[in-house]
Amino acid sequence: MQMTDNTMLITCGNSGIGQGLAAAFHDLGNQVIITGRNQQTLDETVAAHPGMKAVVLDVADAADIQRVAAQLIQDYPALNAVIHNAGIMAEEDLKQGQPDSAEAHVNTNLLGPIRLNSALLPHLLGQPSATVMTVTSGLAFVPLSLNPTYSATKAAIHSYTQAMRYQLQDTNVQVIELVPPYVRTHLQGERQANDPHAMPLDEFVAETMAILSSNPDVSEVLVQRVHAQRFAEKRGEYDAFFKQMNDMLTAARKS
């Protein structure tokens, strides 16, 4: 991935990992456009980074995606990079049955990036050099029982990303998967944002940018903290890792 001279779109760039990446790429001189559902936090993010742009977008709304994608292509014809970062993560008790929660996760985390990607890819294919980056999770490789649909959607995006990379291998579009570990953000509220066991956001962003800078042809961006999850099955440690992680986190959430 080229690190400068991009015009890039980052979904949910007004909080968490998206906001951190937006700031980092903006600091390198890229034209960064962020999206989110909250106008106030979009405005605050842009105010902190003069020159950054913002567009309100609900990635769970198929019609909104089509409208915003068309406007982005018109307003930013040099658009050549997209980071599909938007997502929601809520605990689910499967014994209770929560179809609304499951559908919300699928619409935002899975259909959102697929729909937006479909709307923008014809434009990206016409650029001299382009990048599509999906943001999955270590939970795509070892799921968390407390967050079953979230884990499933991230596993699905991992699969989608691999298929997309193969289909686009002879094009100008580079496909990258960013696989975060448990990071200190507000994805699950104040508890996660202040959890000392989570990786500090600034450390995650710094290591991510270092990987992208040192390895421009990278297909998966894996900070050290996520290696245990990503390679648990390959190392023959999946069952033990799955049980240990889920036992520990289930007990922690109950305490």
Choice among 150, 160, 166, 238 that is catalytic:
150
- At 132 the three-state DSSP class reads strand
Q: Do residues 119 and 66 touch, judged by C-beta distance below 8 A? A: yes
Strands 53-56 and 81-84: unpaired
Q: Beta strand 173-178 with 81-84: parallel, antiparallel or unpaired?
A: unpaired
Q: Quick check: helix, strand or coil at residue 92?
A: coil
Q: Are 30 and 98 in contact (CB under 8 A)?
A: no
Q: Residue 201's Cα: distance from chain center in Å?
A: 14
Taking a C-beta distance cutoff of 8 angstroms, is the pair 59, 11 a contact?
yes
Whole-number Å distance between alpha carbons of 242 and 227 = 14
Which stretch of DSSP H or E encloses residue 73?
A: helix 62-75
Q: Scan for tokens 């198929």, then name that residue.
A: 62
150 is a catalytic site residue: yes
**Which are the catalytic amino acids?**
150
